Structures are given as C-alpha cells and as structure tokens.
Amino acid sequence: MNKKIIKTENAPTPIGPYNQGVESHNIIYVSGQVAIDPTTGEMVGGDDVQAQTKQVMANIKAVLNKGGLTFNNVLKSSIFLKDLNDFDKVNEVYGNYFVSETAPARECVQVVRMPKDALVEISVVAVR
C-alpha cells in the first residue's frame, strides 16, 4: 500500500489511534479537527462557534501545509455541528478560506456530541 503519514507540531496531537493526515496516491485525507490549540493542547473559543471554527481551519491549514498543499487543493469537506443553528456563523468563517467558484464539495450535519464537547469539527480531502 502506498501510504504516507502526515504529522505536524502546528496541529493538535491526535487524541486517539489516528493520524493528523494520511496521503495515498496524491490524495491527502485530513482527520477531523476540533478547536484544540496545538501549543497548549486545550480547547479554545468556549461557546463561540466562530472562534472555534477559526482554530479548526488553522489546524487544517497546518496539516495541509505540512503535506505541501493549501486550501486550493481541497476537493471535499465534511462539517459536523453541535447545533445546526450555527450554520451561518460557521459559513461566515469557513468561506474566508475558499473562493466560491472553486470551493470544494461538502456536507454539513448536526451531531449529538463531539470530542472535547466541541461545537464544530471539520475534515477535508485534498489532492496534489
């Protein structure tokens, strides 16, 4: 199997048996990221879903960059929200990382609970 593990100190250390990113056949799969500050290991943003989303996107950017990619390489994203009423707030932040005409495919779903009681978690798939 052609598989390369992507690790960076600029994104949170995994809190389970998984890696920040995995590349295979020029496709990079970035694990779901929550608003953990990689320097402290603590959740940031409190009850502010936009502050959490900014940290999530910074974590994703760090993994992409370690793999030699940017948000322009993202083909697909998955957004998980604790409360779907936060959809517009998350979109406001998320939209700053993509150009509308070339934005990735995605889904957004509400879930009951996430690691560290996060308000938002996002994963992406990117291509070299």
Please list the active-site residues: 108
Rounded to an integer, what is the distance from CA 48 to the centroid of its chain?
17
77, 53 in Cβ contact below 8 A?
A: no
124, 88 in Cβ contact below 8 A?
A: no
DSSP sequence for 85-103? GGHHHHHHHHGGGS-GGGP
Pairing mode of beta strands 27-33, 120-127: antiparallel
Tokens encoding 28: 């990079």
